[in-house]
Amino acid sequence: MKYTSPRGTRDILPEESFVWRQTVNKIINILENYNFSEIQTPIFESADLFQRAVGDTTDIVEKEMYIFKDKGERMMALRPEGTASVVRAYLQNYTHFQKKKVTKLFYNGPMFRYERPQTGRYRQFHQIGVEAIGSSSPFLDAETMVMGTQIFQELGLKDVNIAIHSVGCDVCRPVIKEKIKSYVESILPNLCEDCVSRYERNPLRILDCKNPNCQTFFAGMPDMNSALCKECNDHFLGVINHLEESEIKYNVDSHLVRGLDYYTKTVFEIRSDLLGAQNAICGGGRYDNLIAELGGRKTPAFGFAIGIDRLYMVLNELGLTKEIQKQTKFLIIGLGVKGQEIAFKTVLILRKRSISAEMFYKDNSINDGLKEALLLKVQYAVIIGEDEIDAQSYTVKNLKEKKQFTVNSLEELISIDN
Ligand code: ATP
Ligand code: MG
């Protein structure tokens, strides 16, 4: 093969695309019930935006961004995530958004990270994400996480678990960092190069290291909750309280940090055991400093992103994708010139009446037509041969029930099953 898709990307073929769209529509319905509205931002932005928002010492910025210089010598990046773009758009269109105290937005589309491709990890992948901007209330954290859980429950994922934690704020983060550093000091010689370089620059990120060997040394890490300041601790207890009230199952994971630096206070991840190593299908949290960081007034916010590629894998693993298949109702097989003409007129009328129909373009083989009907998984194959032309009728084969019958008018054909 001369051309193949770039490493780490894939073609999403029709069967998956169909399930994908239905799934996304269901998710969007839920988001809209929670009062989120869609925003569409460019696929590329100034590289600087992500450097600033995501953080200079994160894997995303250090190693994974697709950066290019455009013809005007500007450094651009394919977006590696959605939050920075949404916040940029929020600030740029501030007159549009400012009247409301809280703005709830969602986005849906591809993201790009130069990662090592493996199952569930691609260089172009898709996210649906939400950003609720303007409130620091723990109700917002809780309700947004409940929404995430509801999405997976309604899609049929029974066993997702939600891990939550607080990564503190400007006041207590330095204390948390010191606590991690003093523990990590003793195990540092055993850790990977990345961890060693993070030790000074961004010790919290050590916990997010994906290297299994490093992970084994983190088990004894001290609980960081005790290092939270009063405000963060109260906030975290509030969030937990509201989660309890909403009766969703969660567990506190004191090692949870996220791959992006903008998080403050609550962080969370929703995982599925069906995914193996890349088990996170949704991640997010609160980011109370980001909007000021990007030039706005200090504005608290909370968001998350769902990985649609991994979500599809879970749905598939659970056998739930089989239930969602596109079905065309009729394949019309016309023999000879006259039969083809009637077939052509018939499909046009059926489609105008909002009935899905396809024409078989070969005019000399009922057998080939029936084979095609099976491949297309249509409900009915309709044959227009010489006898049918003479009698102005249609022979209809119900392919599932393997039954054949005759209808004597187009109206009768249209009304089958209606
Ligand atoms: P991971 O820990 O698996 O690398 P992450 O913390 O980098 O995930 P986020 O940036 O929070 O992930 O993105 C949210 C979701 O997007 C993840 O939970 C995952 O489902 C999905 N995702 C992230 N990176 C990829 C990727 N390279 N390929 C496929 N899906 C991805
Ligand atoms: Mg990652």
Q: Per-domain residue ranges for the chain?
A: 14-172+228-317, 330-414
Amino acid at site 233: N
pLDDT of residue 410: 95
pLDDT of residue 98: 78
Kindly report the CATH number that applies to the domain delimited by 14-172+228-317: 3.30.930.10
pLDDT of 204 reads 84
- Report which ligand 1 atom has the smallest distance to the Cα of 259: 6
Q: Among 121, 167, 260, which is best to mutate for testing ligand 1, by the most ligand atoms less than 8 A from CB?
A: 121
Report how far residue 264's alpha carbon sits from residue 87's, in angstroms, rounded to the nearest whole number. 16
Verify whether ligand 1 is closer than 6 Å to residue 122 (CB atom). Answer: yes
- pTM for the full predicted model: 0.93
What region does 11 belong to: left with phi over 0, alpha with psi -120 to 50, or beta? Answer: beta
Q: Is 300 in the pocket of ligand 1 (CB under 6 A)?
A: no
Name the residue at shortest CA distance from atom 7 of ligand 1.
259
Contacts of 342 (CB under 8 A, 6+ apart): 334, 384, 389
User: Which ligand 1 atom sits nearest the alpha carbon of residue 305?
Assistant: 14
Phi, psi of 73 (to 5 degrees): 65, 20
Rounded to whole angstroms, the Cα distance separating 112 from 64 reads 8
Q: Which of 48, 181, 27 is nearest to 106 (CA)?
A: 27
**CATH architecture of the region 330-414:** 3-Layer(aba) Sandwich (3.40)
d(C-alpha 13, C-alpha 221), whole Å: 44
- How far is it, in rounded angstroms, from Cα 92 to Cα 203? 33
pLDDT in tens, the chain (418 residues): 899 999 999 999 999 999 999 999 999 999 999 999 999 999 999 999 999 999 988 889 989 999 999 999 999 999 999 999 999 999 999 888 877 899 999 999 999 999 999 999 999 999 999 999 999 999 999 999 999 999 999 999 987 889 999 999 999 999 988 888 888 888 888 899 888 888 888 888 888 888 888 888 888 888 888 899 999 999 999 999 999 999 889 999 988 888 778 899 999 999 988 888 788 999 999 999 999 999 999 999 999 999 999 999 999 999 999 888 888 999 999 999 999 999 999 999 999 999 999 999 999 999 999 999 999 999 999 999 999 999 999 999 999 999 999 999 999 999 998 7
Which distant-in-sequence residues (6+ apart) come within 8 Å of 195 by Cβ? Answer: 184, 188, 206, 209, 211, 214
Question: Which residue's alpha carbon is nearest to atom 16 within ligand 1?
Answer: 307
Q: Which residues, other chains included, contact 6 with Cβ-Cβ below 8 Å and sequence gap of 6+?
A: 123
Q: Which amino acid is at 301?
A: A
CA 259–ligand 2 middle distance (angstroms): 6
- CA–centroid distance, residue 323 to ligand 2 (Å): 31
37 in Cβ contact with 133 (< 8 Å): no
Q: Could you check whether 14-172+228-317 and 330-414 share the same CATH topology?
A: no
In this predicted structure, what is the pLDDT of residue 159? 77
1 neighbors 108 (Cβ within 8 angstroms): no
> What pLDDT sits at residue 202?
84
